[in-house]
Amino acid sequence: MAVQGTLLAIESQQVIAMRLMKMAMGGPDVQREAELMVSEKMNSAAEAGRMVVMAALGGQQDLGARKVVRHYRSKVRANKKRLSK
């Protein structure tokens, strides 16, 4: 779990840097990227909350932490791939 959390932190910082560079360069896609960033965060937080509630209702002591980290890592990797193009 510690390794996965660390990888999530590193990958997240990479995506943040890519987004900041894109926004600093300006252009027609900046507004769309900002909107996408906010909507993705809201949707991912809602999904993670749902996962935690389901894990709690299922009696999981870790509240589904592995599943939540896996969820966020998949989203971050998708953003990294999209922003790398």
Q: What is the pLDDT along the chain (85 residues), one digit of tens a residue?
A: 899 999 999 999 999 999 999 999 998 889 999 999 999 999 999 999 999 999 999 999 999 999 999 999 999 999 999 999 8
User: Positive or negative CA dihedral for 15, 33, 42, 50?
Assistant: negative
| Helix count and strand count (H, E) for the chain | 3, 0
Q: Are 18 and 84 in contact (CB under 8 A)?
A: yes
Tokens of 21: 């560079």
Decide if 11 contacts 76 (C-beta within 8 A). Answer: yes
Q: Name the one residue in this structure whose structure tokens are 């589904």.
A: 64
Residue 54 structure tokens: 């389901």
